[in-house]
Amino acid sequence: MINLSHRQTLGAVVGAGVVIAALAWLSASTAAETAAPKAAKAALTVSVTRAEHSEWPLTLLANGNIAAWQEAIIGAEAGGLRLSEVLVNVGDRVRKGHLLARLQNATVAAEVEQTRASLQEAVATQAEATANADRARQFQSTGMMSKQQINQWLTAEQTTRARVAVLKAKLRSDEIRLAQTYVKAPDDGSISARLATVGAVVQSGQELFRLIRRDRLEWRAEVPASDLARLKPGMKATIFTASGASVPGTIRMLAPTIDAQTRNGLVYVDITEVQDARAGMFARGEIQLGRSGALTLPQSAVQMRDGFHYVFLAGADDKVIQTKVAVGRRAGERIEIASGIDAKQRVVASGVGFLADGDTVRVVEAGAAAGKAL
């Protein structure tokens, strides 16, 4: 058996106490850490709003080409003549009857003069034959002239009368041919194409110019067959040109047939204000079908993630709840919510890109956004 001195015994007691105290402190620290709650995330200050019921236009979106209402093809009526002068170019605006080009017409003019002279000669001959025929008719009953002579004079009268009629017709034909050497505009409008070249010998029917009649343009919108029944002439439309300008229009007619391959029908929309629209331009547009109710939110309240649209609802515990919604029409700074929420729920109005589902926020009520209806 080992006997310890008083000093050794006291040291052992003190050492044991230190060890026990250290163990107690460590145990208390561990318990305190276990009992302490996790620190909450730093709160963001957000404003909330509620969806509003509005009356919005009901529109049908479509795409199509802008084309001339009617494009007149102006050709040469007289053939075999040389173009001596071209007076207009592409883009020029002309009035009906405006001179566009002139063909070399010296030969045609000479033919007119020749026919006119022949007609004068025939008229003189007819006058003489008529006088002879009148004398023959006077002597016919007296027997002073033979029947053969009388018949000759009567026949000569008819022959000269026919000769005058033929020359009058030829003169009209020559004058028409002379007039055809002047190529004129058939209507008001703008020159859209020019193929005429000075010095070229043109043939009858050869195209020289194209004219957009009255500068009228139309939008030929392609609409699915299922939507054609919703349209009718007189409905208003808005066409958006390449520059972003809004051009007003009105439906003139619906095509009576459907394209067998695309299953689309054409809707002809008269453009009432041309602005910067041009024939051949591709344009998108919308056709006004009426008005309908819509539940709307500011576009800043809606976020798109992974191909879906979401909003964040503010819960009673000031935690946000990410909620999927379906969207529809857009107008200005607002967007239609087709489903997913109702008008009673509080929705975070902005800053949704910095939020995640379950975040704690500091909520501030916001006034209703402006611009309910258009």
* Judgement on whether residues 308 and 340 belong to the same structural domain of the protein: yes
**Statement to judge: residues 179 and 103 lie in one domain:** yes
Q: Are residues 286 and 306 in the same domain?
A: no
83 & 193 share domain:
yes
Answer whether residue 12 is part of any domain: no
Query: CATH number of the domain that 359 lies in?
Result: 2.40.420.20
Tell me which of 251 and 23 has the higher pLDDT: 251
Q: What is the pLDDT of residue 46?
A: 84
CA 232 to CA 244: how far, in whole Å? 26
Residue 35 confidence class, pLDDT cut points 50, 70, 90: very low
Per residue in 77-115, pLDDT (tens digit) is: 988 999 999 999 999 999 999 999 999 999 999 999 999
How far out from the chain centre does Cα 79 lie?
40
Q: Which of 175, 178, 181 is nearest to 202 (CA)?
A: 181
Looking at the fold, whether 117 and 166 belong to one and the same domain comes out as yes
Whether residue 315 is found in the same domain as residue 226: no
* Structural domain total, the chain: 3
Q: Are residues 161 and 172 in the same domain?
A: yes
pLDDT at 215: 92
In a domain, 305, yes or no: yes
Q: DSSP string of 214-237?
A: TT-EEEEEEEEGGGGGG--TT-EE
**Whole-Å CA distances, 64 to 21, 50, 227, 247, 272:** 88, 38, 15, 14, 17
Q: ∠75-79-81 over CA atoms, to 5°?
A: 105
User: Do 280 and 361 fall within a single domain?
Assistant: no
Question: Which is more confident, 349 or 140?
Answer: 349
Residues 86 and 196 in one domain: yes
Tens-place pLDDT, residues 46-71: 888 888 888 888 889 999 999 999 99
Domain that holds residue 51: 45-56+293-365
Rounded to two decimals, the pTM is 0.63
Residue 80 in domain = yes
Give DSSP secondary structure letters for 58-102: EEEEEEEEEEES-EEEEE-SS-SEEEEEE---TT-EE-TT-EEEE
What is the model's pLDDT at position 23? 56
Q: pLDDT-derived band of residue 17, with 50, 70 and 90 as boundaries? A: low
* Cα gap 354→286, rounded to integer Å: 35
Which pLDDT band holds residue 372 (cuts at 50, 70, 90)? very low
Q: What is the mean pLDDT of the chain?
A: 84
Give the model confidence (pLDDT) of 180-196 as tens digits: 999 999 999 999 999 99
Maximum mean pLDDT: which of 251-265, 284-298, 350-364: 251-265
For residue 16, being part of any structural domain is answered with no
Instruction: Tell me what pLDDT residue 39 has.
Output: 43
